[in-house]
Chains A and B, each alone.
Chain A
Amino acid sequence: MPAEPSVLMSVPQSLSRSRTSASLDLLRRLFRTRFGGVGLIILVVISALSAFAPWFASSGPMDLGSPALQPPSWQHLLGTDSLGRDVRSVMLYAGRSSLTIGFCAAAMAFLIGGTIGALAGYFRGAVASVLLRVTDLFHTLPAIIIVLFSVSLMGSSFWLQVAAVALAIWPIEARIVYGQFITLSGREFVLAARAAGLSTFHIIFREILPNALPTVIVQVSLDASTAILIEAGLGFLGLSDPTVPSWGEMLNRGQEFLELAWWMSVFPGMAICIAVLGFNLFADGVTEMFNPRASAVAPKLDS
Chain B
Amino acid sequence: MLRHIAGHMAQAVLLLLSVVVLIFCLLQLIPGDPIQAMVGDMPVPPALRASLEQRFQLNEPFLQRLYGYLVNVLHGDLGYSMNYRRPVFDILAERFPRTLLLAGVGYAFGILIGIAIGIQSAVTPHRSVDRAWSSLVLIGYAMPTFWVGQLLVIVFSIHLGWLPTQGMGPMVSRASGVDWLLERATYLVLPVATYTILETTRVARFMRASVLETLEQGYIVTARQKGLSRREIIIGHVVRNSILPVITVMGYSFGTAMGGAVLLETVFSYPGVGSLMVESVRARDTQVIVGVVILIACSVVVMNIVVDLLYAWLDPRIRVSSRQS
Pick the contact of A137: B22, B255, B280 (CB < 8 A). Answer: B22
Q: A143-B259, A269-B150 are in contact. Are A301 and B230 (CB under 8 A)?
A: yes
Pick the contact of B286: A133, A152, A251, A280 (CB < 8 A). Answer: A152
Main secondary structure of the interface of B (DSSP, over half): helix
**Contact of B150 with A273 in the complex, beta carbons under 8 Å:** no
How extensive is the interface on chain A, given as a class? 35 or more
Closest chain A residue, CB of each to CB of B16: A140
**Distance (Å) between the CB of B238 and the closest chain A CB?**
8
Q: A136-B15, A266-B151 are in contact. Are A298 and B212 (CB under 8 A)?
A: yes
**Contact of A280 with B18 in the complex, beta carbons under 8 Å:** no
Q: How far is the CA of A146 from the CA of B146 in the complex (A)?
A: 18
**Distance (Å) between the CB of B253 and the closest chain A CB?**
10
How extensive is the interface on chain B, given as a class? 35 or more
* Stretch with Cβ within 8 A of A (4 or more), from B59-67, B292-300, B317-325: B292-300
**Contact of A142 with B22 in the complex, beta carbons under 8 Å:** no
**Contact of A299 with B215 in the complex, beta carbons under 8 Å:** yes
**Contact of A273 with B281 in the complex, beta carbons under 8 Å:** no
**Contact of A301 with B233 in the complex, beta carbons under 8 Å:** yes
**Contact of B255 with A152 in the complex, beta carbons under 8 Å:** no
Question: Chain B contacts of A255 at CB under 8 A?
Answer: 150, 267
**Contact of A301 with B224 in the complex, beta carbons under 8 Å:** yes
Question: Chain A contacts of B117 at CB under 8 A?
Answer: none
**Contact of A297 with B127 in the complex, beta carbons under 8 Å:** yes
Within 8 A of A (CB), among B141-187: 141-147, 150-151, 153-154, 158, 165
**Distance (Å) between the CB of A105 and the closest chain B CB?**
16
Kindly state whether residue A232 has any CB partner on chain B within 8 Å: yes
Kindly state whether residue B38 has any CB partner on chain A within 8 Å: no
**Distance (Å) between the CB of B294 and the closest chain A CB?**
10
Q: How far is the CA of A35 from the CA of B135 in the complex (A)?
A: 10
Contact with B along A281-303 (1 / 0, CB 8 A): 10000000000001011111110
**Contact of A301 with B215 in the complex, beta carbons under 8 Å:** yes
Question: Chain B contacts of A276 at CB under 8 A?
Answer: 142-144
**Contact of A296 with B146 in the complex, beta carbons under 8 Å:** no
Question: Chain A contacts of B211 at CB under 8 A?
Answer: 298
**Contact of B142 with A277 in the complex, beta carbons under 8 Å:** yes
Closest chain B residue, CB of each to CB of A153: B30
Within 8 A of B (CB), among A221-271: 225, 229, 232-233, 236-239, 251, 254-255, 258-259, 262, 265-266, 269
Question: Chain B contacts of A296 at CB under 8 A?
Answer: 212
Kindly state whether residue B203 has any CB partner on chain A within 8 Å: no
Can you show 22 pairs from A to B with CB atoms below 8 A apart? A140-B15, A140-B301, A142-B296, A143-B259, A144-B259, A145-B292, A148-B278, A149-B23, A151-B281, A229-B144, A237-B266, A239-B281, A251-B150, A258-B165, A265-B150, A266-B154, A269-B144, A273-B144, A277-B139, A298-B122, A298-B130, A301-B123
Chain A contact residues, CB within 8 Å of chain B: 35, 133, 136-137, 139-145, 148-153, 225, 229, 232-233, 236-239, 251, 254-255, 258-259, 262, 265-266, 269, 272-274, 276-277, 280-281, 294, 296-302
